[in-house]
C-alpha cells in the first residue's frame, strides 16, 4: 500500500504539471486570438483535473486503509 501511495503522489505531481501547462497554452492561444485551440486546451485541462481528483480520492482512501491497519495493530 505504501508503494501505491508513493506512485499516486508522483502521478498527482505529474498531472498538476500538465494542468499548469494546459493553462499556459490556453493563455498563449487566447493571446494569439486562436479560440479554437484554446478551447481544446481547456477541455484537456478539464479532463486532467478530473483525473487529478480521482487520484486524490484514491490516495485518501489508501491513507484511510493504512490508518485503519495501523490502528488495529
Q: Where are the beta strands (DSSP E) in the chain?
A: none
Give the pLDDT confidence of 32-68 residue by residue, as tens digits. Answer: 999 999 999 999 999 999 999 999 999 999 999 989 9
Taking the C-alpha atoms of residue 60 and residue 44, their distance in angstroms, rounded to an integer, is: 24
Average pLDDT score over residue span 20-34: 96
pTM of the model: 0.85
What residues contact 45, with CB distance under 8 A and at least 6 apart? 19, 22, 23, 26
Average pLDDT score over residue span 19-24: 97
Structure confidence at residue 71 (pLDDT)? 85
Residue 1 pLDDT grade (very low, low, confident, very high; cuts 50, 70, 90): confident
Structure confidence at residue 73 (pLDDT)? 74
Radius of gyration (C-alpha) of the chain in whole angstroms: 17
Amino acid at each position: 500500500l505504501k508503494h501505491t501511495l508513493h506512485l499516486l503522489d508522483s502521478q498527482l505531481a505529474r498531472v498538476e504539471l500538465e494542468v499548469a501547462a494546459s493553462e499556459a497554452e490556453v493563455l498563449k492561444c487566447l493571446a494569439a486570438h486562436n479560440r479554437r485551440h484554446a478551447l481544446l486546451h481547456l477541455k484537456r485541462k478539464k479532463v486532467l483535473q478530473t483525473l487529478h481528483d480521482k487520484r486524490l480520492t484514491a490516495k485518501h482512501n489508501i491513507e484511510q486503509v493504512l490508518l485503519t491497519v495501523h490502528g488495529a495493530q
